[in-house]
């Protein structure tokens, strides 16, 4: 085993030396040698390729993204990315989800992306604390043909989720997406676990927080809250866990 390790080290050193004398594009063999076992860093060029080739974004959702950018200005950054919308829609479809919930609606892209993946009798309970952007959301839900699947409730998400628990709907939801107040993530999460059926999935957005969670010198309220939340979920034996490096980081926690 030690011999094998030494040989791999020498091969790596040899490639590094050869690269000094071969500054041109990587050849097929060398490219294979440089492939990493960690997630690829997406340059703008690679990201454009991913969006162009890696999904089939409906025109209505692309138009909603553009309308959000035009009307919301800097706040448009709160909208999920198209590849994340496609990913969550596929998750809902693979699970055969019929009953879902999201905390944090904004202009309605994520709700529409999931609703499009649901069967005709599917439902998205969409929770938002403000109706500031609900007009734009409703407009595009109608255009997407999913308005009848989305139950928009304007109230603090915790209040809406508690009401669902009190109404006897615990254990009846298939998929829940959390993308609201970061300092409330732990509270949303506990209610999500109560509402989910066994095998149900909660997806939590912004868990990498633009990389700030990995920098201990960053101690603003939201970063500290997300960092603590991530640590809590990592040790939660009630769920199976996978943090996915898509968009700003998406944690998937499946209720056991």
The model's pLDDT over 158-214, given as tens digits with 9 standing for 90+, comes to 999 999 999 999 999 999 999 999 999 999 999 999 999 999 999 999 999 999 999
Residue 26 is predicted with a pLDDT of: 54
Q: Give the number of other CB atoms < 10 A from CB of residue 5.
A: 9
Q: Which two tokens stand for residue 231?
A: 């640590």
Q: Which pLDDT score is estimated for 119?
A: 97
Query: Taking the model in full, what pTM does it have?
Result: 0.86
Q: What integer pLDDT is reported at residue 38 of this predicted model?
A: 83
> What's the pLDDT at 179?
97
pLDDT at position 31, please?
53
pLDDT < 70: residue spans in the chain: 1-36
Q: For position 27, what pLDDT does the model report?
A: 57
pLDDT at residue 17, as a whole number: 46
In this prediction, residue 35 carries a pLDDT of 63
pLDDT at 7: 44
Question: What is the structure's pLDDT at 214?
Answer: 97
Q: At what angle do helices 109-117 and 59-72 cross, to 10 degrees?
A: 170
Q: What is the pLDDT of residues 115-130, one digit of tens each?
A: 999 999 999 999 999 9
């Amino acid at each position: 085993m030690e011999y094998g390790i030494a040989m791999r080290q020498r091969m790596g050193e040899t490639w590094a030396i050869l690269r000094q004398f071969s500054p041109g594009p990587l050849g097929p063999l060398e490219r294979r040698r440089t492939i990493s076992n960690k997630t690829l860093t997406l340059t703008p060029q690679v990201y454009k390729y991913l969006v162009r080739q890696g999904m089939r974004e409906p025109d209505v959702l692309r138009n909603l993204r553009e309308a959000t950018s035009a009307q919301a200005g800097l706040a448009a950054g709160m909208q999920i990315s198209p590849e994340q919308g496609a990913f969550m829609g596929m998750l809902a479809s693979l699970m055969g989800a019929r009953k879902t919930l999201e905390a944090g609606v904004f202009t309605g892209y994520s709700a529409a992306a999931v609703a499009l993946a649901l069967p005709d009798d599917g439902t998205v309970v969409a929770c938002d604390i403000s109706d500031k952007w609900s007009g734009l959301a409703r407009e595009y839900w109608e255009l997407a043909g999913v308005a009848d699947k989305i139950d928009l409730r304007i109230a603090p998400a915790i209040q809406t989720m508690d009401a669902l628990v009190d109404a006897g709907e615990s254990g009846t939801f298939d998929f829940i997406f959390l993308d609201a107040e970061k300092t409330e993530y732990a509270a949303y999460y506990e209610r999500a676990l109560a509402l989910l059926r066994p095998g149900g999935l909660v997806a939590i957005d912004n868990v990498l927080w633009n990389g700030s969670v990995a920098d201990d010198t960053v101690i603003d309220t939201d970063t500290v809250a997300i960092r603590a939340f991530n640590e809590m979920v990592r040790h939660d034996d009630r769920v199976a866990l996978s943090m996915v490096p898509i968009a700003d980081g998406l944690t998937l926690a499946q209720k056991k």
